Copies of this chain bind each other. A is one copy, B any other.
Amino acid sequence: MKTDLPRKVTLTEVGPRDGFQFETQVLPIDVKVDVVADLVAAGLRHIQVVSFVHPERVPQMADAETLLHRLPRLPDVFYNGLVLNERGLERALSAGLPSVEISVSASDTHSRRNVNRSFDAALLQGCGMVQTAKQGGLHVRAGVQCALGCVYEGEVAVERVVTMLTRFRDLGADAVVVSDTTGMGSPVSVKRLLDRLLPAIHPLPVILHLHDTRGTGLVNMLAGLEYGIDRFDTSLGGMGGCPFIAGAAGNIATEDAVYFLETMGIATGVDRVRVAECALKLEAVLGRQLPGKMLRVIQASGKNGQISHCNPPGNG
């Protein structure tokens, strides 16, 4: 199933959801508004800005409606929100959000820990939500979490992921998302899944949401590109991961992805320096460094990342 690399890739920025959600501090809404504005100015057109989850469980997202209300509606910018249950979906519909992500874990253990439901119950619920969302006129990204491995259950069967995503497709999902929630994917497992998934799901778009927990974010993206995948989720500064582990890695950093894709001759329409500048401002608010690599290069160079750091004697 190897094919020519795409010439152009669409990145969905998930930092305002996947990133902010994992911060120990609740970011002021003004900061959130500014970040989204910066991301739009940098050329990002698909941004996951909120999740509709219980405000007591995830206080970082409690201001979802207010934030959506404050974000400018622009004709070519597509905001998305993650919903994990019917109540969240209702809130998304009420808020007038045009696009939602509905996501179910392939792992029973992860599902029970994450949303307190068995795999079977969560899948049934997810399918119902896809139907409701489509009936409500929403654009639906329907995804599988832990699609490339589970920290509790180990390897996840390709067939399970393919079955879940084709069910979502049959219920009207507009795109499917393969989430490597744990960062356990590898080029081998990405390709093994896509070998089965792409013929089954064609022509529905497949989006890869790859966490960089183990440093394999870009190699896994490359594996996807080699299979013709042209939609990826990334997060500014590589935000995301777990706030209780210092230095834990989140998604592929948007600016690192753009840089890498540029070196491959693949266009994104995104200005990576502007994304990095936004992430650097955010570092100042958070009081800590984010994991993205290009941030440090751009910070040191004050330019476009081509002029790098000092070279002390003896550098090999």
Could you tell me the dominant secondary structure of chain A's interface residues?
loop
Q: Per-residue CB proximity of A267-297 to B under 8 Å, as 1/0?
A: 0000000000000000000000100111111
Write the nearest CB–CB distance from A175 to chain B, whole angstroms: 14
Q: Per-residue CB proximity of A88-104 to B under 8 Å, as 1/0?
A: 00000000000001010
Write the nearest CB–CB distance from A314 to chain B, whole angstroms: 4
A245 touches B296 (CB 8 A): yes
Which of B51, B213, B243, B314 touches A316 (beta carbons < 8 Å)? B51
Bound together, the chains give a CA A51 to CA B113 distance in angstroms of 50
**Pairs A-B, 9 closest by C-beta atoms:** A186-B263, A215-B293, A151-B308, A215-B256, A242-B309, A53-B314, A57-B313, A247-B296, A245-B300
Complex interface residues of chain A between 211 and 259 (CB less than 8 A to chain B) = 212-216, 218-219, 222, 241-249, 253, 256, 259
Nearest B residue to A52, CB-CB: B314
Chain B residues closer than 8 Å to A114, beta-carbon distance = 311, 313-315
A45 within 8 A of B: no
Complex interface residues of chain A between 122 and 145 (CB less than 8 A to chain B) = 143, 145
Chain B residues closer than 8 Å to A295, beta-carbon distance = 247
Bound together, the chains give a CA A32 to CA B260 distance in angstroms of 35
Chain B residues closer than 8 Å to A44, beta-carbon distance = none
A307 within 8 A of B: yes
A169 within 8 A of B: no
Chain B residues closer than 8 Å to A14, beta-carbon distance = 316
Report the count of interface residues on A (CB-CB < 8 A): 79
Q: List 9 A-B contacts (CB under 8 A).
A: A51-B316, A57-B313, A181-B311, A209-B316, A213-B296, A213-B308, A245-B296, A246-B289, A248-B300
A84 within 8 A of B: yes
A13 within 8 A of B: no
Which of B187, B259, B264, B307 touches A215 (beta carbons < 8 Å)? B259
Write the nearest CB–CB distance from A25 to chain B, whole angstroms: 14
B151 touches A307 (CB 8 A): yes
CB within 8 Å for A245 and B309 given contacts A179-B316, A215-B259, A259-B214: yes
